[in-house]
Structure 1
C-alpha cells in the first residue's frame, strides 16, 4: 500500500511543479529566398543553401561556395565560423572552408589509411 501511495504522490506532484509557460516574442524578421536555412553563427552571419550553393550573408558582405562535382550538400557545420565544414554524402568527402568560404582542404573518408610498416617496437 505504501509504494502505491508514493507512486501516486509522485505522479501528482510532477504535474503540479512542471515548467512554467514561456512567452516567446519575435526579435526581427529577415526575408530569405533559400532552399535550406543552415543557421546564424556567433558573429551574426546568416548561412543558407540555394541551388547546391552555400551562402554566407553578413551585414556588409556576402560570400558563396559551390562545388557541383560533389553533388548535393549533406550537412554544414558552422559551430566554428573560422573553419566551416561541408559534408558531401554522395562521395563521402568533407570540405573545410575558411571564414570567406574559400576551400582550405578536402578530407576523403573513402580512402584507406596509408600502410604503416613498423620495424620494431
Structure 2
C-alpha cells in the first residue's frame, strides 16, 4: 500500500464511516428507548425496580453495542496501518536501510510500498 492509499482510507474511515456508525448507533438506541418505554411495568416502577429497568435497558441495548463495535473495525484497521507505516519509517531511519532486500524490512513492512518508504526517509 502506498502512503496516499493509507491516508485516503484513514480519512474516509474517520470522517465518513465513523460518524455514520455513531448515527446508526444512536438510531438503534432510540429504538431501544421506544421499546423500553412501551413496557407497562416500567411506568409503574418503584425505587426498588430501578435495577430491573437498568438491566432491561442494557439487555435490549446489547445488539446496538455489538453493531457499533463491528462497524468501527475499519477505522481501527486504518489507524493500525498508519501506526505501522510510521513504525516502518522509523525502522528505515534508525537502521539506515537503503535497499528493499533487507530481510528485517521484508519481514516487518512487506505490505507497504518499500521503495516509497525508503524514498520518504531520505533527506531532501
The bucket for the TM-score relative to the shorter chain is under 0.3
The alignment's TM-score, normalised by the length of structure 1, stands at 0.26
Which is strand-richer, 1 or 2? 1
Q: Please, what TM-score do these two structures have when normalized by structure 2? A: 0.25
Higher RCO (C-alpha 8 Å, min separation 6): 2
Higher helix share: 2
